[in-house]
Structures are given as C-alpha cells and as structure tokens.
Amino acid sequence: MPDEQYALEARGIVKIFGNHVALDAVDFGLRAGEVHALLGENGAGKSTLIKILTGAYQPDGGQVLADGQPVHMDNPQQAQTLGIGTVYQEVNLLPNRSVAENLFLGHQPTRFGLVDRRKMERESRDILKRYGLEIDPTSELGAYSVAVQQIVAIARAVELSGKVLILDEPTASLDRYEVERLFEIIRDLKARGLAVVFITHFLDQVFAVADRVTILRNGKLIETRALDAMSRTDVVRLMLGKDVAFSGATGVEDARPMGDILLDFSQYGRKRSVHPFNLTIHKGEVIGVAGLLGSGRTEMARIMFGADAADEGEVAIAGVRTTIARPTDAIRHGFGFCPEDRKAEGIFGELSVRENIIIALQGKLGWFSALNRDEQMEIAGRFGESMDIRAASLDMPIKLLSGGNQQKVILSRWLATDPAFLILDEPTRGIDVGAHAEIVRTINRLRDEGMALVVISSELDEVVAYSTRIVVMRDREMVAELNGENINPGVIVQAIANHHDEELA
C-alpha cells in the first residue's frame, strides 16, 4: 500500500455485467492537487470506473476509499456529500432555469420556508466571478453557449462537493479557445487543492493539463504513470495495446491503377465538428480512416453523407459541383452509410429483416412506386444468400439477430440501392469472427467491382488489410494521408500520436 494519502482511491475494483468482466481488479489513486487523466478506448472500462467512483454503480469486488476511509455509496447524491462532484460531456443542467437556480438547485438558501432569491443571486454572482464569468445570474442558462454552461456545471460541482471533481469528456463540444479557458479553470482548481479526474480522447489536451495518467484496456489497469516521463507514442501504444510502432513498412504494394475520380471534397468542414479537409476519392478505392475515438472520424462520415450539413467548402461528384445538405441528397447521388451505432441509428428493431433490407431502396424510389411483397422477398432473398445472413426467416424481427448478422443486413440495405459510394463506420465492431471475415471479404469484393468506399475502423490490422489509402484524424482534423508502403500499423500509430515535436517517419 502506498504510504501517501489519496483523496479518492479504488482498490482492486471488480465489476461484472452478466458474464462480461467490465473491470478486473483495477486500482486507481487520486491525489489532492493533481489532474489525473483517465484514458482508454471505448469499452476499456473508463465510464464503469467513473460510475463506481460516483456511486452510480456498486462494485462487485474491491473497495472505494475517500481520504483513506472505506466508503459505500448507493447513489450520486451520497458521493456529493463525500465531496465528489461530476461534470458530464453533455451538460446536465436545466437550460430552462436561471443560472443562479442551476448553481443552487436542491440547496437554495431559504428564509421562512421560502427561497431567498436575493441571497441566492448574490452568492451566485460571487461564485461566477471566481470562474471569470461576468453573466447575470437571473438570466436563463439556455441563453449561453455550451462552454459557459460547462463552466456553470463545474462551478456547481465544485461548490457542492469541493474535494474531487470528475470531468467526463468535458471538452467534446468546445472549440479551441473555450478549451483553453476551461484549462485555466482546471489549473486554478488544482492550485486550490482539488483532485481532478480528466477523461478525454484528445491526447494534446491530456499533455496540456494532466499530471498523471491511468490507462485502461479491456477492463484491466495497464499503467499509471507521471506524464512527464511519457511520450505521445507511448500513450497511444498502451491504449491500443499494439507493440507495433517500429515494425517497419510492409514494403510490398501493388501499383493498383487508380480509377476515375468520383468525389472531390475541398476545404469541406463544419464548425465545432470537423476542421476543413481535402479528400479525393476514386472509383475502386477503399479509404481507411484511422484515429482515436472522438478524433472526428464519425463526424467526417456524417458530413460526407449529409447527416450533418457542411457549412464550409465544396464537393464535386464526377467533376460536377453539388451540395449535400441532407441524407436524401446523398442517396440520390448513390451514397450509402452504415453508421457506428447500429442499434440506435442503423436497424429498425421491430421490423423484419426483409423490411430492413428494402427500406433504403424504397426510400430512393419514392412513395409512388412501392415494391410489392414478391419484389421485396426477391431482393431480400438475394442478399440473404450472397451476404450469408443467418436468420431463421427473412420475416423475423431484426432485433433477434446477432450483431454480425444485423451488420450484414444494413450493408445489404445499401447494396440494394446499387450505390457508387459507401461509408462504413466501424462495420466490424462487436461482431463475431465469422461475420467479421464476411464483411472484410465483401469490402474487398466491392472495391474490385469499382465501388468507392470509406471505412472507419479502430482495428488497425483490419484497416491496413483492405485500404488502398489511409487518412488519419486527430483532434477533429485530418492530419495525414498515407499510401503505398506507409500503410502499416506502425506508421498509423505514429500519425495518430504525432505532434510537432515528433516528426512523422
């Protein structure tokens, strides 16, 4: 046991969901007056650990200690009384109420049983001043930017708890200037002796503000170390668990003839989402998109498909300038998009496999040329066979299928529209090995048939296997375009971690 006193400590935490071990004997120690970054890819166990530290979950093993004393927390309110405050990525305040009420809700000063508004507003003004906010506490919170709301949320958490502050991706929707302002506040809180846990996907921010880092992977503690002894490459390598950085280039690369130019995005971007990027996509090409979670990969895909409209730059399709402001525009031009969050954005759970397959085609045809049942069965049957969809019947609800088969159905949905350009966001996440191979095979086949694809994946080996070109995203910016022998995991890790002081090989 370390002789130093931790403000908040987790010892040997185990958390099991069903038969999945979300956290496996994880230790985590937080000192007063430090900013401690918690890193890990999706599913690494970060949010589970946070929920245990804030009382939202109870551990199945191990214990949580506050100031060296074992504590048991049943709910977030109890954590609050122990001095642990949390601010989430999405500001969890009330935009319909005044700033003062958001700071004090549940703890309003009262006089004769009634809320003492004047006192509440006076104290709010004092608090806001400490955070450098010159805003009227009686005004509605919703009138302010996300950054200001974020600061109000931090102020509330600190005022109510005042010992430990947990920031769960607080910068995800802030711009650079706002992030800098937030960091000033974090440094100030650190100087006041607070212990701050900082969760983010942005490595630059970790190095800018954190003192120590804890890295989790697959529910296991990988490393807790002081940051000044680590380089970006070390951190990325520990997060991805790949000891590949110096494996060297693969060397062999066939000179695949480039097809005609299909799409040309120039200075294409969207404020607060993705910095303008340039990308030319040829027919018969697979462009792999690599980057850590939150690096802007999904945002880029959504802009390409018109799910979020771009607000700068232009796009040309086969040399002709067009606008893609809505998914229907994109579909008309022969685009398809398999989103990352299959359950929420991909499948229609209650509808049958058949209906899920034909729905995009029907959408493209319009209201007045309905596909009859026989046509639907024919189309669904054709894809069911060619994609090897394992379903007892094409009329069973898709939600009963495994993740891999659901993914094949969504892929079929777009293939049925005979697309020229397909965007796949994490097509192989959470699916079994067989389906995985089937999808990779399909990607290769489509490329050879002359389709253009953009494939986003965290699996570096996989991206390397099918991509003809790889673009790397970092901090919502396209930072590198790799081709030829640079397509190997080592170079990609370098590009993801790269910073001006570590030149790309």
Residues in touch with other proteins (CB under 8 A): 76-77, 80, 88, 92-97, 101, 105-106, 108, 110, 113-115, 117, 139-140, 142-146, 156, 173, 270-273, 299, 302, 308
Structure tokens at 150: 């974020």
Shorter beta-carbon distance to other proteins: residue 34 or 340: 340
Element containing residue 253 per DSSP (H, E): none
Measured from the CB atom, the residue of 71 and 174 that comes closer to other proteins is 174
Work out how close the CB of 114 gets to other proteins at its nearest, in angstroms, rounded to a whole number. Answer: 4
Choose between 206 and 300: whose C-beta lies nearer to other proteins. Answer: 300
Shortest reach from residue 396's CB to other proteins, in Å = 27
- Between CA 474 and CA 35 the distance in angstroms is 22
Query: Residue 438 or residue 475: which is nearer to other proteins going by CB?
Result: 475
Cα dist from 440 to 286, 411, 437, whole Å: 11, 12, 5
Supply the Cα-derived Rg of the chain in whole angstroms.
25
Element (H, E) at 187: helix 176-191
Q: How far is the CB of 305 from other proteins (least distance, A)?
A: 13
End-to-end CA distance of the chain: 42
The strand pair at 421-425 and 114-115 is best described as unpaired
| Shortest Cβ 93–other proteins spacing (Å) | 6
Closer Cβ to other proteins, 143 or 396, answer by number: 143
Instruction: Return the number of other C-beta atoms located less than 10 Å from residue 364's C-beta.
Output: 16
The least CB distance from residue 82 to other proteins, in Å, is 14
Query: CB of 149: closest distance to other proteins in angstroms?
Result: 10
Task: Pick between residue 146 and residue 351 the one whose CB is nearest to other proteins.
Answer: 146
Q: Least CB distance from residue 278 to other proteins, whole Å?
A: 21
Strand ranges for 135-182 from DSSP E: 164-168
Helical residues (DSSP H) of 82-145, grouped into ranges: 99-104, 117-130
Measured from the CB atom, is 6 or 277 closer to other proteins?
A: 277
- The enclosing H or E element of 490 equals helix 489-497
CB nearer to other proteins: give 161 or 376. 161
Comparing CB distances to other proteins, the nearer of 157 and 189 is 157
| C-beta of 304 vs 492, nearer to other proteins | 304
In this structure, are residues 286 and 459 in contact, taking their beta carbons and an 8 Å threshold?
A: no
d(CA 421, CA 380): 21
Q: Which is nearer to other proteins, 105 or 504 (CB)?
A: 105
Q: Any residues with CB less than 8 A from the CB of 428 and at least 6 apart, and which?
A: 407, 435, 436, 439, 440, 457, 459, 462
Q: What is the DSSP letter of 416?
A: T
Kindly state the smallest distance separating residue 92's Cβ from other proteins, in Å: 4
Q: What are phi and psi of 172, to 5 degrees?
A: -60, -30
| Closest CB 425 distance from other proteins, rounded Å | 13
Burial of 394-420, coded b for 16+ CB within 10 Å and e otherwise, reads beebbeebebbbbbbbbbbbbbbbebb
- CB count within 10 Å of CB 68 equals 10
24's enclosing H/E stretch is strand 20-30
Q: How far is the CB of 213 from other proteins (least distance, A)?
A: 26
Minimum CB separation from other proteins for residue 84, in Å? 13
Q: How far apart are CA 319 and CA 332, in angstroms?
A: 16
Q: DSSP assignment of 307-338, as one string? A: SS---EEEEEETTEEE---SHHHHHHTTEEEE
Nearer to other proteins, 140 or 223 (CB): 140
Residue 253 C-beta: closest distance to other proteins, Å: 36
Helix boundaries (H) for 295-432: 297-305, 327-332, 353-365, 373-386, 403-415
